[in-house]
Amino acid sequence: MKFKVLGSGAGIPSRTRNTQSFVLDVVEEINQYFLIDASEALQHRILNTTIRPSKIKHVFITHLHGDHIFGLPGFLSSRAHQGGEGVPLVVYGPPGLKEWVEMTFKVSGSHLNYPIRFVEVFHNGEYDVEGFTVKSYLLDHAVDSFMYVFIEPDKLGALDSGKLKDIGIMPGPVYREIKNSHTFRHGEETYDTADFLSPPVKGRKVAVHGDTRIIDRADYLELLDGSDLIVHEATYLEGEQEKAHQYFHSEINGVLRNLSPISYGQLLFGHISNRYDAEMIQGVEERLGDRAVLAYDYLEITIPRDSR
């Protein structure tokens, strides 16, 4: 599992940062990508990667501000001619997203050659997406803005061949049959398969925020607790907490303090304002040390199992 940054900036693109778009790469797990937000120039960003649009079958939009959605109609249109013909797509997002896309297509005379379905998300929503559980949580922004939490299913533990040999079952194709069963028979006895498996491997959890003020509610922190990767906005890098709150955004040190009571693996800050120059960015990175990483375009983060 990998997390890929296609756009790390806030509001207005710069020469070095496009506005926000992310990809959760679950190709190894389910041969797909999950696209999170669709900023302007998304298509061009994808062209600079190995991502195949036809393998994006689920899109998650955090909120309807332009720097998060202006690339969506173009991506949908291009996907139709990049191996996506006949490949269904599901788009998750706040109320109004479906109407906006449909009106854009109607006015521009655009048509798709694959079925598309829109799912209107809500606070504390839960969705089954290709075996993953995806939860939506309403944040605190000037418009409805959501966090998406992607939870991978637990993986079965390994089969204990020693225990199977002890009861007289030697290695062979039967091992696969046993692992895929709840119980199995050998001789005159019925056995529970769970007794012959190591503990299950915990699924990974990735939480991706839309734009938001800092939230200190207990249910929010509980949902984030145990994440392997948290992606949070940092429109304001340092020392402007009041201004950040005024404009419905977050400041980096406030986020770090807010998340300090919970456990997580990696923390990635994105949605970085283009008013910060390279020297300022470097200074913040040095002060962060190993506590967090500032996103940059085309950054790729590997999310190992048991990274918490």
How would you classify the pairing of strands 32-36 and 21-26? antiparallel
The annotated binding site is made up of 63, 65, 67-68, 141, 211, 271
User: Is 12 within the bounds of a domain?
Assistant: yes
Catalytic residue among 25, 37, 67, 228: 67
Angle in degrees, 0-180, between the axes of helices 97-108 and 72-79, rounded to the nearest 10: 60
Model confidence over 151-185: pLDDT tens digits?
Answer: 999 988 899 999 999 999 999 999 999 998 999 99
The number of distinct structural domains making up the chain is: 2
CA-CA distance, 134 to 139, in Å (whole number)?
16
Residues 219 and 280 occupy one common structural domain: yes
Residues 213 and 244 occupy one common structural domain: yes
Side-chain-side CA neighbours of residue 232 (13 Å) = 29
Residues 278 and 136 occupy one common structural domain: yes
For residue 307, what pLDDT band results from cuts at 50, 70 and 90?
Answer: low
Q: Averaged over 279-304, what is the pLDDT? A: 93
Residues 180 and 38 occupy one common structural domain: no
The annotated binding site for Zn(2+) is made up of 63, 65, 67-68, 141, 211, 271
Name residue, tokens 């050998």.
186
Side-chain-side CA neighbours of residue 2 (13 Å) = 16
* Length reported for the chain: 308
Q: Averaged over 232-254, what is the pLDDT? A: 92
Model confidence over 54-79: pLDDT tens digits?
Answer: 999 999 999 999 999 999 999 999 99
Structure tokens, 270 = 């994105």
Concerning whether 67 is annotated as a catalytic residue, the answer is yes
Residues 281 and 142 occupy one common structural domain: yes
Say which amino acid occupies 269: F
Structure tokens, 293 = 């990483």
Report the pLDDT value the prediction gives residue 173, as an integer from 0 to 100.
Answer: 93
Instruction: Return the percent helix, strand and coil in the chain, to nearest 5.
Output: 30, 30, 45
Q: Averaged over 198-217, what is the pLDDT? A: 95
Residues 188 and 273 occupy one common structural domain: no
Residues 92 and 141 occupy one common structural domain: yes
Structure tokens, 248 = 């419905």
Of the candidates 288, 287, 233, the one whose C-alpha atom is nearest the C-alpha of residue 255 is: 233
For residue 226, what pLDDT band results from cuts at 50, 70 and 90?
Answer: very high
Residues 174 and 266 occupy one common structural domain: no
Q: What are phi and psi of 224, to 5 degrees?
A: -75, -25
Q: What are phi and psi of 66, to 5 degrees?
A: -60, -35
Full DSSP string of 207-227: EE--S------HHHHHHHTTE
CATH number at residue 220: 3.60.15.10
User: Is 308 within the bounds of a domain?
Assistant: no
The pTM for the full model equals: 0.91
| Cβ atoms within 10 Å of 89's Cβ, excluding its own | 22
Of the candidates 302, 130, 94, the one whose C-alpha atom is nearest the C-alpha of residue 211 is: 94
Residues 138 and 172 occupy one common structural domain: no
Of the candidates 278, 287, 271, the one whose C-alpha atom is nearest the C-alpha of residue 238 is: 287
For residue 308, what pLDDT band results from cuts at 50, 70 and 90?
Answer: low
Residues 168 and 298 occupy one common structural domain: no
Residues 175 and 214 occupy one common structural domain: no
Structure tokens, 273 = 């304002």
- Residue-range definition of the domain harbouring residue 173: 161-196
Residues 187 and 98 occupy one common structural domain: no
